[in-house]
Amino acid sequence: MKIGIISDTHDHHAAITSALSAFAARGVELLIHCGDIQSPETVRLFQPIPTHFVLGNCDWRVDEFPGAIRDIGGVYYDRYGELELEGMRLAWTHSHDMQLFLDLEFGDRFDYLFYGHTHKAEQRRRGRTLVVNPGAMVRVRQRTCVVLELPSGEIESMDV
């Protein structure tokens, strides 16, 4: 199973469309968005691929997101999301709530923890957990996102 992870899209429709095309070309079956979508209207762009969303610190119209996400068949989570897929436990958050982020990172409950907010693509291991920031679609030199293939655990960073 291929899972696409994206963050910090900030209403940049052209970058989102490019990322979605790249995900589709790689056979991504499910998307995880780590927050800072910016506006509920942008959620509609994600309709082609089932998407699981958390909100970030720039998703100010909080009350409008659950309905917009539900309308496209997506799944809305509050401050963080978690799924078990192919025997692996995944979690994601935006990471602006530092205490929550540290609890998830150091809790040793997940195989993968994805996060956004910093606009900096990076990976590190914390116990059993591979902690991954896919990068961002704005305010970066190179727009990046990642694809996780399960059950192999292979992670591909994509330039968009």
The domains located in the chain, with CATH, are: 2-159 (3.60.21.10)
Looking at the chain, the whole-number percentage of residues with pLDDT higher than 90 is: 99
User: Is pLDDT of 114 > 90?
Assistant: yes
CA distance 19 to 159: 9
22-55 pLDDT tens trace: 999 999 999 999 999 999 999 999 998 999 999 9
* Number of neighbours of residue 124 by Cβ within 10 angstroms: 11
Predicted confidence band of residue 138 (pLDDT cuts 50, 70, 90): very high
What is the token pair recorded at 101?
């982020």
Number of H helices, E strands in the chain: 3, 11
Q: What is the mean pLDDT of residues 99-110?
A: 97
Residue 152, C-beta contacts closer than 8 angstroms, at least 6 positions apart: none
Phi and psi, residue 110, nearest 5°? -125, 150
Q: Residue 21 — pLDDT band, cuts 50, 70, 90? A: very high
Please give the model's pTM, rounded to 2 decimal places. 0.97
pLDDT, mean of residues 98-122: 97
Q: Give the pLDDT score at 104.
A: 98
Confidence of residue 82 (pLDDT cuts 50, 70, 90): very high
- Section 119-123 average pLDDT: 97
